[in-house]
Every structure is written in structure tokens, then in C-alpha cells.
Amino acid sequence: MAVKIYKPVTPGLRGMTGYTFEEITKQKPERSLVVVRKKHAGRNNVGRITVRHQGGGNRRYIRLVDFKRNKRDIAARVSAIEYDPNRTARLALLVYADGEKRYILAPVGLRVGDVVQAGATAEIRPGNSLPIANIPVGTMVHNVELAEGRGGQLARTAGAAAQLLAKEGDYAQIRLPSGEVRLVRQTCYATIGQVGNLDHGNVKLGKAGRKIHMGIRPTVRGTAMSPRDHPHGGGEGRQPVGMPGPKSPWGKPTRGYRTRRNKKTDQYIVRRRGKGGGR
């Protein structure tokens, strides 16, 4: 995929880039794999905003993606490469030998007409899903399961890929895109290859309206608010934060403050993410 540069005929187009969609082969989604997405604009069941900066945007339909890859040892042909408005990756529409259709994440190198398969006997090539025990060390994978049968949870965004580093006992060491090295059971499934749409990170929105089209509402800086609305607010003119570390609107530390509280899975993290693995 290449990045499209717009001619700056308006201020909003100056610096804006977008997708060329040259890899897309089908415009409309498969109707049997689409459900309506109900919007809540960040509000809970009593109408209060619990997630800020959400609302509006273009109407979207949810594509039912097969992250579990539980249709084993049956060959499937790639029928089309499609766009998904709900994620950064592209989708590949598979048509199995028995006629069933499913969506999967489209990895780099997967083309229309290719044959993919899930199962312990599948070949090591992009799009095939295998148990980690059957994948050679050093292979780049995506859509990695954390629990057998739960479905892939790791390395699913555009351009993401995890690397299988080692195998020992019942577990394998996998380096995630963040740099974290984690233990995963060898019975869990992973898909070979790197997720496609590699140029997603090079796209520049260019204007605020494009953010609105994505369903993301404007964010106001805390320093521009009053003291009753935000801990950073108040003061005559422009002021620094003026406190030990930045705070959220509710007074909690933010920007670099560690929030992980899952002690049950600490034992599976071999090396933390971040510079030097210290975080």
C-alpha cells in the first residue's frame, strides 16, 4: 500500500495524506458477516459519559472476524481483500471448501487466490494458523492466543508482528511489538506473518474534521480549563502544571504512571516493555 498525497487546494488538505486502497479488491462487505454497530457516544446505561471524547462519526458496520481460526485442517481460498472501518488492518475473505465464508486479518504477502489453512499440519506461510509448538523459532507471527481456544489477542494492528524467540517445557517466549517478552503456552495458536497495511503509521489526518469523521470528539487541554474543572487549570495567563507530575481531571497521576495491577500474570512476563525493559 502506498500513501496518497493531496494537492493543497485548501488549508485542510495541506499536509494531509491518505490511503491509495490499491490492495482492496472488493468494495462492499459480505452481508452474512456484518452486524449493525450501535453507538453509545461514551455513555453508560444511565446516560452519563464514562468514556470521554467519543461520539458522532460516520456510520460503521462490524465485520465478524475469525480470531479463533477453529476451522481446522480445511483449506480455504482467499476470495477478496477488504477494508474494515473498525480497525487499521485489512481483512481477507476466505471461502472454505465446504462453502463457509470467514474474515481473517490480511497479512503481508497474502493475495487473492491464495490457499490458507489452520491446523497442526499447516505449512509455514503467511495466513496459516498453527500451534506455537509447530512453529519454528525465529518466525514472525501475529494474532497470538494467550489462552488456548480463546482466540488471538496479541499483535493484531496494522504492521504488527511478534517473534517466537525460544521454546522450553510447556511455554514459549514471544517478543511482542512493544518489546515485551512474554511466556505463552505452546498449545496456543498463532498466525504466520506480519499484519498488512504497513503504511498506516505514515498517514496524516491533516485537519480536525477528519478526526470527527472517525468518531473522536475534540480534547480540551487541562491548562485551558478552570481550577474546578481540572487540576492543571487556573492562573493568570499561561501557567505550567505547578504540581509534582501531571494529573488526570480526577486528580490521578497520568503520563507515564504505571497502572498495571494484574499480579496473576506477572509470572508470564520475562522482560518488561520500554527502554531497557525497566517499565
Nearest to 64 by CA among 80, 87, 44: 87
Q: What is each CA distance from 70 to 34, 140, 153, in whole angstroms?
A: 19, 21, 15
Q: Where residue 81 sits, what CATH number does that domain have?
A: 2.40.50.140
What is the per-residue pLDDT across 104-138, written as a single tens digit (0 to 9) for each? 999 999 999 999 999 999 999 999 999 999 999 99
CA distance 233 to 220: 11
Q: What's the CA gap between 66 and 122, in Å, rounded?
A: 17
The enclosing H or E element of 163 equals strand 162-168
Task: Assess if residue 87 is contained within a domain.
Answer: yes
Report yes or no on 106 lying in a domain.
yes
Name residues whose C-beta falls within 8 Å of residue 68's C-beta, 6 or more positions apart in sequence.
Answer: 149, 150, 151, 152, 189
> Residue 16's domain spans which residues?
3-200
In a domain, residue 236? The reply is no
Q: Is residue 232 a part of any domain in this protein?
A: no
pLDDT of the residue at 275: 62
Does 159 map to a domain?
Answer: yes
Nearest one of 254, 247, 217 to 229, comparing CA atoms: 247
**pLDDT tens digits, residue range 6-47?**
999 999 899 899 999 999 999 999 999 999 989 999 999 999
Residue-level pLDDT at 153: 96
Residue 251 belongs to a domain: no
Buried/exposed 144-172: b ≥16 CB within 10 Å, e otherwise: bbeeeeeebebbbebbbbbbbeeeeeebb
Bridge partners, 48 (sequence order)? none
How far apart CA 78 and CA 93 sit, in angstroms, is 6
DSSP character at residue 222: G
pTM strictly above 0.85: yes
Q: In total, how many domains does the chain have?
A: 1
Q: Which amino acid is at 203?
A: V
pLDDT digits (tens, 9 = 90+) for 196-208: 999 999 999 999 9
Give the model's confidence band at 258: pLDDT under 50 very low, under 70 low, under 90 confident, else very high.
confident
Residue 277, in any domain of the structure: no
For Cα atoms 206, 207, 213, give the angle at the middle one, nearest 5 degrees: 110
Residue 220 belongs to a domain: no
